[in-house]
Amino acid sequence: MRLDKYLKVARVIRRRSVAKELGDQGRVTINDRVAKSGTRVSVGDQIMIQFGNRRLTIEVVDVRDTTKKHEAEGMYRVVSEERVAPETP
């Protein structure tokens, strides 16, 4: 499954267009490699997402094409969530 679709279906990010934008800006990595929005996601992958001054790392537990709200939380496991200092130019 594509990265942008996975983030939307798992409800990590609310809109697929936002997930695509983050991937295309290089703010998402899969297994420590920069990932574009079309990168394939598999069970066991670790995804790190940089949101402004927050960094979220999740592990992919399940991959589904569609899900209900209460099922979405079971698609990933939060590995870490941390605040990071904003980048200075």
Q: Are 11 and 68 in contact (CB under 8 A)?
A: no
Question: What is the fold of 3-83?
Answer: 3.10.290
Which tens digit of pLDDT belongs to each residue from 25-49? 989 999 999 999 999 999 999 999 9
Q: Where are the alpha helices (DSSP H) in 1-89?
A: 3-9, 16-24, 69-72
How far apart are the C-alpha atoms of 52 and 65, rounded to whole Å?
28
| Residue 49 Cα to chain centre, angstroms | 6
Q: Tell me if the pTM is above 0.75.
A: yes
Which tens digit of pLDDT belongs to each residue from 53-84? 899 999 999 999 888 888 888 999 999 999 98
Q: Are 48 and 27 in contact (CB under 8 A)?
A: no
